[in-house]
Amino acid sequence: MAEAAAALGQFDFAGDDHVVPFQVEGLDVRGRAVQLGPMLDAILERHHYPAPVARLLAEVVVLTVLLGTSLKFDGKFTVQTKGDGPVDLLVADFSTPENVRAYARFDRALLDQAIASGETEPEQLLGKGVLAFTIDQGKFAQPYQGIVALDGTSLEEIAGVYFRQSEQIPTRVRLAAAELFDRDDAGKPRHRWRAGGLVAQFLPEAPERMRQPDLHGGDGDTGDRPHGEDDAWTEARSLVETIDADELTDPQVGTERLLFRLFHERGVRVFEPRAVFDRCSCSREKIGNVLKGFTAEEIEASQENGEISVTCEFCSTTYRFEATELQPAE
């Protein structure tokens, strides 16, 4: 069934933790926008990440949600960074139709050094490495993975390079995360995380209009190759680039209001929002099946006081097994 469109002002706001698809017919642009609140806060606070790490992971979660909710099939979409910086691993995955989980790994000593020296920009924390996008449709299809380099630029810029290289669709991505300090209904101090993002793509009916400047060819490239960009995409991209980070995270702005600010002169339309939830895919049964593949020697080495404990890195749930449950049948 096709998604039902509504003109701005003819519906209730989607609110936090809902992805809002949109279309700007006057510019041949489609996209998705989101503001994450309670869902993201639960993921980050569960691990008590230091603020620079939490901010990075929040951006990865936003990117994963924006792209994962566009899947038209049952499966899993994963965004993962691996680098040589203080934050050496960020991973978030979206399991259709609505479940999100995420995890960050960092070196505490290196992170403290980076904070002390003021080197907390995303590119400084991630270092050199790769950003990978993986689509897994299950056992009936081979996973697809696209990889781009972590090259010292922001995550949103690197994501744009991925689209340009792999899908060859003119795309602009915006990501932002913020800490909020306020008071709850009882007047007690409260700390919360929020994040927001938007992805816009140029999808005209005539594919030849999707031309864009070529990527730099490396050494010896004078940059004087003929290239061009459609005026409609130039306008759309320029509008997206005017977004302030505060607008993406401000709960008083809201996703639909932001879209109206950007595109109302060109006839923006929004579609049915997609809710997303903080839900891990781990289970006692899955972990038990993994442990049952251990040898008797591995089980013996893993147990303590006759028990094996396994904690999920994503949701921090601990599963305990009696060693006798896992002994291979004789």
Tens of pLDDT along the chain (330 residues)?
445 555 554 445 788 999 999 999 999 999 999 999 999 999 999 999 999 999 999 999 999 999 999 988 889 999 999 999 999 999 999 999 999 999 999 999 999 999 999 999 989 999 999 999 999 987 777 888 999 999 878 899 999 888 888 778 899 999 999 998 877 788 888 889 999 999 999 998 777 777 765 555 455 544 444 456 889 999 999 999 999 999 999 988 889 999 999 999 999 999 999 999 999 999 999 988 888 888 888 888 888 887 888 999 999 999 998 877 776 554
The predicted pLDDT at position 23 comes to 96
The predicted pLDDT at position 59 comes to 97
Distance of CA 283 to the CA centre of its chain: 23
Q: pLDDT tens for residues 169-221? A: 899 999 999 998 877 788 888 889 999 999 999 998 777 777 765 555 455 54
The predicted pLDDT at position 9 comes to 47
The predicted pLDDT at position 168 comes to 82
Query: What is each CA distance from 31 to 69, 107, 209, 259, in whole angstroms?
Result: 11, 36, 18, 10
CB 43 within 8 A of CB 194: no
Residues of the chain above pLDDT 70, percent: 90
The amino acid sitting at 152 is G
Using left for φ > 0, alpha for ψ between -120 and 50, and beta otherwise, residue 304 falls in beta
Residue closest to 129 by CA, chosen among 102, 156, 148 = 148
The predicted pLDDT at position 1 comes to 40
Residue closest to 85 by CA, chosen among 24, 10, 155 = 155
